[in-house]
Amino acid sequence: MAKTWLTQGQYDTLLKEYKNLTEVERPRIIKLIDEARQEGDLKENGGYHAAREEQSRNETRILQLEELLRDAEVGDTPADDGVVEPGMVVTARILGEEQQFLLGTRAVRGELDITVYSADAPLGKAIIGARQGETVSYTAPNGNEIAVEIISATPFEG
């Protein structure tokens, strides 16, 4: 897996989620499964099956976080120089509509109140290095060329 750039704040947020899933949620789910097993017939035990599904989702997220945290490249918050790079909150006009988003890793999106676009996505690749007032374009998955006007780029404070 390629390195994923994260601010220290993003790394800390993911580490906090990882600790919660492994130290709080995992034992809670194991207890639910154990209690459901004690009720008897597992074939028709809805509580057991629901707990097993929750366990599967929890363990999948734990594995994702382990890989992400292991392969993370933690860096300082980018300079406030208006140049688009990972870790910046970008305001841009796309298809005539103003949008604001974080250019970073989508793995942290669940903890944030802002849309996150990957720097590895076509949009991310197109805008890296662009400055306020510049217009760049990228090819969307449907083959259309989409213009993106950079209105501003400021460091993410989170």
- Indicate if the pLDDT at residue 54 is higher than 80: yes
Q: How does residue 116 score in pLDDT terms, banded at 50, 70 and 90? A: confident
Q: What is the pLDDT of residue 157?
A: 72
Does the pLDDT of residue 58 top 50, yes or no? yes
Q: Last residue of some domain: 75, 98, 118? A: 75
Distance, CA of 36 to CA of 43 (rounded, Å): 11
Would 80 be classed as within a structural domain? Answer: no
Do 64 and 95 reside in the same domain of the chain?
Answer: no
Tell me how far CA of residue 21 lies from CA of 4, 25, 53, 56, 62, in angstroms: 21, 5, 15, 12, 7
Q: Is the pLDDT of residue 121 over 60?
A: yes
Say how many CA atoms lie within 13 Å of 152 toward its Cβ. 8
Do 16 and 44 lie in a common domain? yes
Residue 83 lies inside a defined structural domain of this protein: no
| 43 located within any domain | yes
Domain boundary among 24, 43, 75: 75
Domain assignment of residue 41, given as a range? 4-75
Beta carbons within 8 Å of 148's beta carbon, 6+ residues apart:
92, 93, 94, 123, 126, 127, 130, 135, 136, 137, 138
Domain tally, the chain: 2
pLDDT value of residue 103? 87
Residue 112 confidence (pLDDT): 64
| CATH number of the domain that residue 27 is part of | 1.10.287.180
The predicted structure's pLDDT at residue 1: 46
Q: Do residues 151 and 106 share a domain? A: yes
pLDDT exceeds 80 at position 2: no
- Same domain membership, residue 97 and residue 126: yes
* Same structural domain, 34 and 71: yes
Percent of the chain at pLDDT exceeding 70: 92
Give the integer Cα–Cα distance in Å for 25 and 62.
Answer: 10
Is 81 domain-assigned?
no
Q: What is the mean pLDDT of residues 75-97?
A: 87
| Residue 3: per-residue pLDDT | 64
Helix (H, G, I), strand (E, B) or coil at 61: helix
